Structure 1
Amino acid sequence: ANTTLANERAGLGAGGGGAGAGAQPGTISKQLDKRAGDFAAQRAERAAARPKAPKARQSSAQMLIGMAKGNGKSADPTIRQGLAKLHTLGEIGRLNNERLKGVRSRGGDIPGMANISKLGQSEIVRTSRDIGLAIVGASGMLHAYKDEDRAVNDKATGNPFLGMITMTALYAQAPPIYGGTDQIQRNIIGERALGLPKEPGPDSQTPFSQLPKNA
Structure 2
Amino acid sequence: MDFKPLVTLLAIVNPLAIVPFFIHYTQNFDDEQRRRTVLISAFSCFVVIAVSALMGLQILKFFGISLASFQVGGGMLLLTSSLAMLNAQPAEAKSNAEEMHDAAARASIAVVPLTIPLLTGPATMSTVVIYADKAKTVLQLTTLVGYGVVVALATALCFSLAKPIARRLGKTGINVMTRLMGLILAALAVEVMSDGLVKLFPILGK
* TM-score, with length taken from structure 1: 0.29
Q: Which entry has the higher C-alpha Rg, 1 or 2?
A: 1
| TM-score, normalization by structure 2 | 0.30
